[in-house]
Amino acid sequence: MRLLVLGGTRFVGRAVVEAALAAGHEVTLFNRGRTAPHLFPEAETVVGDRTADLSALSGRAFDTVVDCAGYQPEVVGKSVAALDGRVARYVFVSSVSVYADQSVPADESSAVLDDESYGGRKARCERVVLDAFGERALLARPGLIVGPHDPTERFSHWPRRLARGGRVLVPGAPEDPMQLIDVRDLGSWLVSTDAAGFCNVVGQPVTMRELIEACPVTVPAELVWVPSAVLLELGVDPWMGVPMWIGDPEAAAANLVDGQRARAHGLTTRPLRETAVDVLAWDVARGGPVDDPFPAEAEEALLRRVSG
């Protein structure tokens, strides 16, 4: 397959390119050449800025384009216009954040946002792609994406924190649902699936206890479970003020999205333990986080407030 990847050197795009090269596809990257420009010497890179000019792709044809970095409908529209008639299939990486009501479990038929939020913009991007490509479009809606090279540091906090030991603040209740997708499983599926239309690309829900137990522990750790109500009362940001924690009551089902359609179209996911082990190894190899979302001093301060 002749595959064009818009982006391709950061988190999701990197996993897509790795999966495509492993499968023997002919891969072309289109990006600005600023992030890890020499990461894939075996792939062709065409340098350009999708926000302004895609003329560097003129005269080129591809079987599939995977759009890993479309956030603004106007920008996605430029890509769609430039590639219409020159790619057979458009795969757009969207998000489950498009769903308007996250207090109940969503499936692909659930209503989506139409505002200027992240989810609303993603939903409008989907419509731009769908209007142009119809049945030749895949609108993939991942949940929380985790794994090595994750720039958000949300998941990597937990393997790193459990490895350090001591008193560990754990948000919510042990049975609270978590829903993750390893970026490598997402990348492999995007490259291999024949699915079309909307697909929630999410893992099976696990509990917060299972997430904690998946992390390698080499030194003693004391888990201090802090109920969501207490964290909210203390003013902690309900959207991952503690990594992986969603305390907003209006998002009670954000981690219970229906993923049956993607699984019916070939999605397989690795054990959570494997992801946690690999993320810790990556974190150690790079020398720790670039920007820790919940540093030790913040955790200790919150533990003192809880205890006080």
74 contacts: CB under 8 Å, gap ≥ 6: none
The rounded distance, in Å, linking the Cα atoms of 134 and 61 is 19
Tokens of 247: 């305390």
Which residues in the chain land under pLDDT 50? none
The pLDDT of residue 102 is: 97
From the list 22, 34, 29, 26, the residue with the least C-alpha distance to 5 is 29
pLDDT value of residue 307: 87
* Predicted local confidence at residue 308, as pLDDT: 72
**Residues 8 and 36 sit within 8 Å (Cβ to Cβ):** no
Report CA dihedral (105, 111, 117, 118) to the nearest 10 degrees.
60
Distance of CA 240 to the CA centre of its chain: 15
pTM of the full structure = 0.96
For the chain, domain boundaries: 2-145, 148-178+205-255+270-307
How far apart CA 174 and CA 197 sit, in angstroms, is 35
**How far is Cα of residue 33 from the mean position of the Cα atoms in its chain?**
22
Domain range 2-145, CATH class? alpha beta
The separation between CA 237 and the C-alpha centre of its own chain, rounded to angstroms, equals 20
pLDDT of residue 34: 87
pLDDT value of residue 291:
87
Q: Are 66 and 76 in contact (CB under 8 A)?
A: no
